[in-house]
Amino acid sequence: VNASPGFGIEKVTYRDVAGKIIDYIERNAKRGNKKDKIGA
Protein backbone atom coordinates (compact mmCIF):
# COMPACT_ATOMS: atom_id res chain seq x y z
CA VAL A 1 0.00 0.00 0.00
CA ASN A 2 1.38 3.37 -0.94
CA ALA A 3 -0.40 6.06 1.09
CA SER A 4 1.31 8.87 -0.78
CA PRO A 5 2.05 7.86 -4.37
CA GLY A 6 4.37 10.25 -6.13
CA PHE A 7 5.08 12.46 -3.12
CA GLY A 8 7.85 10.53 -1.40
CA ILE A 9 6.65 11.42 2.10
CA GLU A 10 8.08 8.20 3.52
CA LYS A 11 11.52 9.03 2.12
CA VAL A 12 11.50 12.57 3.48
CA THR A 13 10.10 11.78 6.94
CA TYR A 14 11.66 8.32 7.35
CA ARG A 15 8.30 7.12 8.67
CA ASP A 16 5.92 4.41 7.51
CA VAL A 17 3.00 6.70 6.73
CA ALA A 18 0.75 3.94 5.37
CA GLY A 19 1.40 1.82 8.44
CA LYS A 20 0.55 4.72 10.75
CA ILE A 21 -2.71 5.33 8.89
CA ILE A 22 -3.68 1.66 9.14
CA ASP A 23 -2.80 1.60 12.85
CA TYR A 24 -4.95 4.69 13.43
CA ILE A 25 -7.92 3.20 11.58
CA GLU A 26 -7.64 -0.08 13.47
CA ARG A 27 -7.47 1.69 16.85
CA ASN A 28 -10.42 3.93 16.09
CA ALA A 29 -12.68 1.48 14.27
CA LYS A 30 -15.92 1.08 16.17
CA ARG A 31 -17.27 -2.40 16.59
CA GLY A 32 -20.82 -3.12 17.58
CA ASN A 33 -24.25 -2.98 16.12
CA LYS A 34 -24.58 -2.07 12.49
CA LYS A 35 -27.56 0.26 12.74
CA ASP A 36 -27.47 3.41 10.69
CA LYS A 37 -27.66 6.87 12.23
CA ILE A 38 -31.46 6.89 12.39
CA GLY A 39 -31.61 3.53 14.15
CA ALA A 40 -33.27 1.60 11.34
Residue 8 to residue 2: CA distance in whole angstroms: 10
- Which pLDDT score, from 0 to 100, does residue 17 have? 78
- Overall number of domains in the chain: 1
- Which pLDDT score, from 0 to 100, does residue 7 have? 60
Enter the pTM of the model: 0.44
Domain assignment present for 37: no
- Which pLDDT score, from 0 to 100, does residue 34 have? 65
Domain assignment present for 11: yes
pLDDT one-digit tens code per residue, 1-40: 655 565 676 777 777 777 888 889 888 887 666 666 776 5
Range of the domain at 19: 1-30
For residue 34, the one-letter residue type is K
- Which pLDDT score, from 0 to 100, does residue 39 have? 60
Residue 34 to residue 5: CA distance in whole angstroms: 33
